[in-house]
Structure 1
Amino acid sequence: MPRHTVWVLPLSVVAFVMVFLLILAEGDVRYVLRVLTRQDSSITDVEWKQHTSVRAATAPRPWPRAAGDCPIRRSLPTQNAQSIVVIHDGMLVCEWYGNGGAPDRPAAAFSVSKTVISLLVARAVADGTIGGLDLPITRAVPELSARDARFSAIRLGDLIDMRSGIAFSDDISFPWVDRDYPSVYYATDLAGTVVRRPRIASPPGPFTYNDYAPNLVGLAYRRLTGTLLTRQPLQRLWDDLGAEHPAEWCVDDHGFPYHESGLVVTARDLARIGQLMLDGGQVAGRQVAPGAFLDRSLDPADREPVTTFAGIGVGYRNGWWILPRGDGGRDLAAMGAHGQIMVVSPSTRTVIVRMGDDYQTNIQIAATLQRLADRLASVTPG
């Protein structure tokens, strides 16, 4: 065989594969290149993704600090972490930073973003900006029912609870570009993607963790109000919380937010979201999280496990994972890829945020934080 044909054949195969992938991706070259070059997500993706910014609160409220040494400092899970913040009884008990982390350095929260989106929607419902969670998604996105009439049965609350009946897979095997997970995470036109790609798997009801869902909620909000959840609504939340530091939200090439994963935030300010769940939704006597959001998140009804991680059955509602406790109680957790974990423990009055890169599975890290909260409560008067 002539030497030059050894090179021509591989190039022709590469060209064929690229054309094949472009056809699957409807000609979106930037999307194909992202999928091929980036592959799996990373905590460094915030360095290349575009983003919008949220300023610190007009009147920041620094965390009050507990007196004395932190009794659990030596037990903090610092491996691969960038930041760990422990709040007990509304006070900053201890914090740890390393591997480039710092008190004022925001980090990618990944799917913890879904919890914040749920809160923003609840605030919009409470102030009358949008209708309730029973609003059909097709009221705002009628193109869905034009594709499949079954979309008309899906309500905003179904999307927030991951019970929409929309199919979703996190598979990233060949041919990559036509898979659900990368089509959302690497989308160049995310709003268009979530109108065109989702498919109905069942009537609303069964749990399917789904990255289309929060983006459909965000698209509905934009259609209904003419603005984005991650702009004025997020800024108002940041002001109401008394956030100490700016935050960011990653957006696609058209400025549409990645609602499922885009939040970039400091651990200190993320902990404020958790503290709302322990303070009746209030900050300095002002209602920041609506009562309906608290009731929907904390109500013991419908808390049966919906899936199992490493042998631990967990529930999911209102953007929160429901973690079982050994005493029969429940804790809340917001969990994002690569070990972004916030555990909220009502029984121990504790919020723990851990951000960085992963070293165990998310459920293992969450269980570690639960044990730390129990230990802290056992050695702290109150």
Structure 2
Amino acid sequence: MKFQLKIETGNTILFSLACVCSLLLTSCSVIRGYRADGQSGPDIYSFEHHVHDTIANGALTFSFPYAEQQAEWIDTLHFFNQGRRYKNVTLWEALKGKTDTQGVLVIHDDSIVYEHYVGDITIDRLGTVFSVSKSITSLLCGIAVDEGYIKSVDDVVTDYLPELKKKDPMWQKLTIRHLLDMRSGLDFDDTYSLRLKDLKRLNAMAKLNYGHNLMKQIRGLKFRCEPGKEYRYESMTTEILGVVVERATGKRYVDYLSEKVWQPLQMESPAVVNVDSRKHGVAHAFGGISTTMKDLAKIGRLYLNRGVWNGKRIVSEDWIRQTTDYSEDNDGYHFNWYNLSNIGADKAQYPGYYAHGIRGQVLYVNPYKRLIMVRMGKQDNTFASIPYVFEQLSNCGF
């Protein structure tokens, strides 16, 4: 999130008393977030001072080996810049720019062929991946379907959250598939605007990130339209999906993620996920996971291998297919992953797909080229430039 305590009108910057009063009256969570993370909002290390639970790894670990021949040629390539016009820039220059990239990791044929780190990041340091967490929550949902905890993605949400039946009747039309494809119809926005007319929505977003009782917030939600009618990306939808997984499995999000993903994928480090409070312990399934770059790459390796990890089936191939097959419908967003249609790129002969979080956290996978790429950073002012650059790179020398 990004909070700036100012209102901009043309070239004039105002900080009005009315805005202050409205903020104080309607948004304790906004104030809490500002006090916790400052004017710029959370960065990839903010989890260190937020309430979180540990996602335990197991005794057995897997490490990507380094390729004998490192892809030093990557630093000599020229790439599209963020305006997508050719410019004489290297990969690092293309990603650094205004984005404050901290680290880039490229894995080809199961071996690390390129890595570059600056600032505070290292290959082993935990960083928050923000909405890449949505893609991991989708993976958990797929596993729950495979195991029969969730009968079908076309089940209605109230099968698992029956208390919502007494609320808006639209809840009984909302399916898990709607949650996975961001077609919930919920009246919720991922807004960061401090305009007076947007304060109510900003407060709701701040509650999602900084509130102490997420289930209370969920129970109070309304709908803007019937579920399934239109696509609109917003984080509350995936938060509800995380709660559905918990209710269906009877296990805490953090425990199910450890048991079904972190341990089987032989992660090298424990990870963490932010929770609303110690009292309620509801995980931020929409954007609260913090992990290392190399462990995040293992999620990519699982998808690249169609749901199999070192010979063991983790999630069904059908789930991977439904998630990653190239399609332009739904703005290229399916089961909480993106394909490159959503940024206007012509379909490449060998297209990849990716998970994306604010501030430009990216996990890119190209199964045709046996490529996994990870980028972590503190800022990204252009939503789609990093996946686009990775797609260009995948078609250069691999």
In the superposition, the TM-score normalised over structure 2's length comes to 0.81
1:98 equivalenced with 2:111 (yes/no): no
1:357 equivalenced with 2:359 (yes/no): no
1:203 equivalenced with 2:227 (yes/no): yes
Q: How many percent identity over aligned positions? A: 27
Q: How far, CA to CA, are the matches of 1:132 and 1:60 in structure 2?
A: 33
Equivalent residue number for residue 369 of structure 1: 390
Structure 1 residues 163, 234: CA separation in 2 closer, same or farther (over 3 Å shift)?
Answer: farther
Match of 1:277 among 292, 297, 303: 303
* Deviations, residues 287-314 of structure 1 (Å, cap 9, x unaligned): 12322321211334xx22544xxxxxxx
Contact 2:272/2:289 (8 A) holds in 1: yes
Match of 2:312 among 276, 286, 290: 286
Mark the runs of 5 or more structure 1 residues left unpaired by the alignment.
1-12, 308-314, 378-382
Equivalent residue number for residue 338 of structure 2: 321
1:298-313 equivalences in 2 (<5 Å)? 298-300=324-326, 303-307=327-331
Equivalent residue number for residue 56 of structure 2: 55
Equivalent residue number for residue 221 of structure 1: 245
* Deviations, residues 163-196 of structure 1 (Å, cap 9, x unaligned): 1222332333245354343232222212221221
Displacement of 1:56 in angstroms is 3.0
Contact 2:167/2:219 (8 A) holds in 1: no
Equivalent residue number for residue 4 of structure 2: none
Match of 1:189 among 204, 213, 220: 213
1:124 equivalenced with 2:124 (yes/no): no
Match of 1:136 among 127, 141, 156: 156
Q: Kindly provide the amino acid, as one letter, of the partner of residue 288 in structure 2.
A: G
Which deviates the most, 283-292 or 64-73?
Answer: 64-73
Contact 1:35/1:177 (8 A) holds in 2: no
Contact 1:166/1:208 (8 A) holds in 2: no
Equivalent residue number for residue 31 of structure 2: 33
Q: Kindly provide the amino acid, as one letter, of the partner of residue 64 in structure 1.
A: P
Question: How many residue pairs end up in the alignment?
Answer: 351
Equivalent residue number for residue 260 of structure 2: 236
Equivalent residue number for residue 8 of structure 2: none
Equivalent residue number for residue 7 of structure 1: none
Displacement of 1:278 in angstroms is 1.8
* Deviations, residues 242-278 of structure 1 (Å, cap 9, x unaligned): 1112211111123211111001011111111111222
Equivalent residue number for residue 152 of structure 1: 172
Structure 1 residues 161, 40: CA separation in 2 closer, same or farther (over 3 Å shift)?
Answer: farther
SS at structure 1 position matched to 2:353 = strand
C-alpha RMSD over aligned residues:
2.4
Displacement of 1:18 in angstroms is 7.0
Displacement of 1:101 in angstroms is 0.7
Structure 1 residues 45, 63: CA separation in 2 closer, same or farther (over 3 Å shift)?
Answer: same
Q: How far, CA to CA, are the matches of 1:41 and 1:231 in structure 2?
A: 28
Q: How far, CA to CA, are the matches of 2:181 and 2:267 in structure 1?
A: 27
SS at structure 1 position matched to 2:187 = coil
Equivalent residue number for residue 166 of structure 1: 186
Match of 1:115 among 125, 128, 135: 135
Q: How far, CA to CA, are the matches of 2:124 and 2:273 in structure 1?
A: 16
SS at structure 1 position matched to 2:62 = coil
Structure 1 residues 288, 225: CA separation in 2 closer, same or farther (over 3 Å shift)?
Answer: closer
* Deviations, residues 59-104 of structure 1 (Å, cap 9, x unaligned): 1011122111223442443622222111112222122222111121
1:83 equivalenced with 2:103 (yes/no): yes
Q: Kindly provide the amino acid, as one letter, of the partner of residue 32 in structure 2.
A: R
1:334 equivalenced with 2:359 (yes/no): no
Displacement of 1:373 in angstroms is 1.8
Structure 1 residues 276, 361: CA separation in 2 closer, same or farther (over 3 Å shift)?
Answer: same
Displacement of 1:120 in angstroms is 0.7
SS at structure 2 position matched to 1:124 = helix
Q: How far, CA to CA, are the matches of 1:218 and 1:359 in structure 2?
A: 26
Equivalent residue number for residue 65 of structure 2: 64
Contact 1:158/1:205 (8 A) holds in 2: no
Equivalent residue number for residue 311 of structure 1: none
Q: How far, CA to CA, are the matches of 1:52 and 1:22 in structure 2?
A: 30
* Deviations, residues 198-236 of structure 1 (Å, cap 9, x unaligned): 424233141110211111112222333332222233343
Structure 1 residues 170, 40: CA separation in 2 closer, same or farther (over 3 Å shift)?
Answer: farther
Mark the runs of 5 or more structure 2 residues left unpaired by the alignment.
1-15, 76-89
In the superposition, the TM-score normalised over structure 1's length comes to 0.84
Flag the structure with larger Rg. Answer: 1
Q: How far, CA to CA, are the matches of 1:364 and 1:32 in structure 2?
A: 29
Q: How far, CA to CA, are the matches of 1:63 and 1:57 in structure 2?
A: 17
1:250 equivalenced with 2:274 (yes/no): yes
SS at structure 2 position matched to 1:289 = coil
